[in-house]
Amino acid sequence: MKPPPFEYYAPTTVEEAVAHLAEHGYDAKPLAGGQSLIPMMNFRLAQPAVLVDLNNIAELSFIRPGDEGGLSIGAMTRHQTVEKDALVAERAPLIDETMPQIATRQIRSRGTIGGSLAHADPSAELVSVSVVLDGKFRVVSQKGERWVPASEFFLGLFTSVLEPEELLAEISLPPLPDRSGWSLMEIARRPHDFCLIGVVALVTLDEEQNCKQARIAFLSAGDGPMQAQNAAKVLEGQPFTPEVIQEAAEVAVASDIDPSSDIHATADFRRHLANVLAQRALTQAFERAVGN
């Protein structure tokens, strides 16, 4: 479990970093917190010829207020920094609630928010949460920068729109709409494991306490964050009764997700859990929305 040889660069600016990426293209891999990449290299599952270590780039680590009550987080901000940040707690309560659920404290002390998103693991909490929160990502390269909505960023299993010469630099989250409630629920064998299934829900109520909008995404339920658009349609305009919630969950399981089988859970069991969890999460999100 030792990696094959690789070249190593440790730039201190984004400019330098993207220059290395431009030079080495597909041979290069940016190193963020290393919590997925380093084990994959030790297993020789990933064999990058060049590592561009981002850990010395101070300008990528920040948490600051965004426009109109939103929030902006630098890609190299460590999970534990986000977890303990007061501004995050105030402006992004769903992110605040998500952080302690990510892996273990040891991993959160090293792992970064940008590293987790760029890795595009469908079981990763932040992947689905960023989609539900309608976040957008600033992507930079030597040619300039572009903003990509989270809902368009993830292309599939461990695959995103990032080109080899591009770097994820910043995550921007809009403020939560009024009368919103949220929930993140996961089922894992052990709390820190990749979840068997997970669901993130954000619901916004209208003035009659009916569902104005619902944004739902499932973790570990397909090749990426699985947005439950059909289930959301079931909810829109409806009151939050157990019957409506049950119908939404059933629609989600039948038409929004595509889980697979592995040694920990069959697709059948995952669908069962998705149904159970969707009902619980929607109920919790609704109850919170009523209070907000």
The answer to the question of residue 276 lying near other proteins (CB under 8 A) is yes
CA–CA dist 278, 281 (Å, integer):
5
Q: Per-residue b/e over 43-70, b at no fewer than 16 CB within 10 Å?
A: eeebebebbbbbbebeebbebeebeeeb
Question: Of the two residues 25 and 39, which places its CB atom closer to other proteins in the complex?
Answer: 39
Question: What minimum distance in Å lies between the beta carbon of 211 and other proteins?
Answer: 24
Subset of residues 21 to 40 that bind other proteins, contact rule: CB under 8 A: 39
Question: Of the two residues 212 and 270, which places its CB atom closer to other proteins in the complex?
Answer: 270
Question: Of the two residues 17 and 273, which places its CB atom closer to other proteins in the complex?
Answer: 273
The answer to the question of residue 4 lying near other proteins (CB under 8 A) is yes
Question: What minimum distance in Å lies between the beta carbon of 128 and other proteins?
Answer: 19
Fill in the per-residue mask, 228 to 267: x = in contact with other proteins (CB under 8 A), - = not in contact: -----------------------------------xxxx-
Of 12, 15, 44, 67, the residue at the interface with other proteins (CB under 8 A) is 44
Stretch that binds other proteins, among 26-34, 82-90, 203-211, 269-277 (CB under 8 A): 269-277
Stretch that binds other proteins, among 20-28, 144-152, 189-197, 282-290 (CB under 8 A): 189-197
Of 110, 138, 179, 272, the residue at the interface with other proteins (CB under 8 A) is 272
The answer to the question of residue 45 lying near other proteins (CB under 8 A) is no
The answer to the question of residue 189 lying near other proteins (CB under 8 A) is yes
CA–CA dist 143, 165 (Å, integer):
9
Question: What minimum distance in Å lies between the beta carbon of 116 and other proteins?
Answer: 16
Question: What minimum distance in Å lies between the beta carbon of 2 and other proteins?
Answer: 5
Question: What minimum distance in Å lies between the beta carbon of 97 and other proteins?
Answer: 18
Question: What minimum distance in Å lies between the beta carbon of 68 and other proteins?
Answer: 39
The answer to the question of residue 64 lying near other proteins (CB under 8 A) is no
Question: What minimum distance in Å lies between the beta carbon of 18 and other proteins?
Answer: 29
- For the chain, the three-class secondary structure string (H helix, E strand, C coil) is CCCCCCEEECCCCHHHHHHHHHHHHHHEEEECCCCCHHHHHHCCCCCCCEEEECCCCHHHCCEEECHHHCEEEECCCEHHHHHCCHHHHHHCHHHHHHHHHCCCHHHHCCCEHHHHHHHCCCCCHHHHHHHHCCCEEEEEECCEEEEEEHHHHEEECCEECCCCCCEEEEEEECCCCCCEEEEEEEECCCCCCCCCEEEEEEEEECCCCEEEEEEEEEECCCCCCEECHHHHHHHCCCECCHHHHHHHHHHHHHHHCCCCCCCCCCHHHHHHHHHHHHHHHHHHHHHHHHHC
134: left (phi over 0), alpha (psi -120 to 50) or beta: left
Residues making contact with other proteins (CB under 8 A): 1-5, 39, 43-44, 187, 189-194, 196, 263-266, 269, 272-273, 276-277
